[in-house]
Amino acid sequence: MHWVDIAKAWLIICVIITHMPEIATSNKVCDISWMANLRPLFSAYFMPAFFILNGYCSRFEGLSLKTFVLKTFKSLMILTMLVNIGLPWFSYIRHFNFNWTDFAHTVTNFIVGGGSWFLSALFLSRIAYFLLKRYLRKPIFLVASTLLLLVGGVVLNTANIKNIFSFEHALVMTIFLFVGDYAKNYSRILDSKLLSVLCIVSFILVEITFSFLGIRQPSIYGKIDVWFSSIPIFILMSLIGSQACF
């Protein structure tokens, strides 16, 4: 459907706006720090929206666990491994650095850090949701289990537990794969222009209220900026914002 491509394009623009100020500053290109002021317009929902779209466009039935894992690994992890392991290795070889500890350190960093957190978290969350859907099946159980994963991820992050391979991100974001997967049954609602307009207005009102009251809004991208008491508003803003951009 056309709205999927439009939503993906908008979300990619959000990613660019999020990262460009730091990239420009670190490379001393130009001062575009003003872009950082645009982040409140989308920071609350743009990463959850990616997961919702992934859930909407994916098939979680009719495949064995092995086939699903291999398929997901090929589509998500090979590229990030080439970037985070292959490029450093190539640089070592090009500079005649054959110290095996440097090669091993690159692999260790990838395993601990997960490379690109988004791809690592998506990889883990897709597997988690695949298993949950296979064994739980009923929507009410999927809601409860993915919500528990979200709470668990927030609690672990708040406790400063090491976020190995971005597993805390995966725990928090699995619920949005469920939202996207379940939304397939209500595609006509997603196409509703009236609903999108209502969500846009609602999101703007919430943003204005937060700004007026000086309340920090929860968000997630490289850092999980969600705390226990903010979970309801985090879910609400993620859903409203996602529907607004759909």
Q: pLDDT of 103-140, one tens digit each?
A: 899 988 888 877 788 999 999 999 999 999 999 989 99
Q: pLDDT of 192-224, one tens digit each?
A: 778 888 888 888 888 888 888 888 889 998 889
Would you say 210 and 225 are in contact if contact means Cβ atoms under 8 Å apart?
no
| DSSP code for 199 | H
Separation between Cα atoms, residue 39 and residue 47, nearest integer Å: 12
Separation between Cα atoms, residue 243 and residue 196, nearest integer Å: 6
Helix 65-81 vs helix 117-135: crossing angle, to nearest 10: 180
Which one has a higher pLDDT value, 225 or 34?
Answer: 225
**pLDDT attached to residue 182:** 93
**pLDDT attached to residue 227:** 94
**pLDDT attached to residue 116:** 84
Q: Is the pTM of this model over 0.85?
A: yes
Separation between Cα atoms, residue 29 and residue 239, nearest integer Å: 36
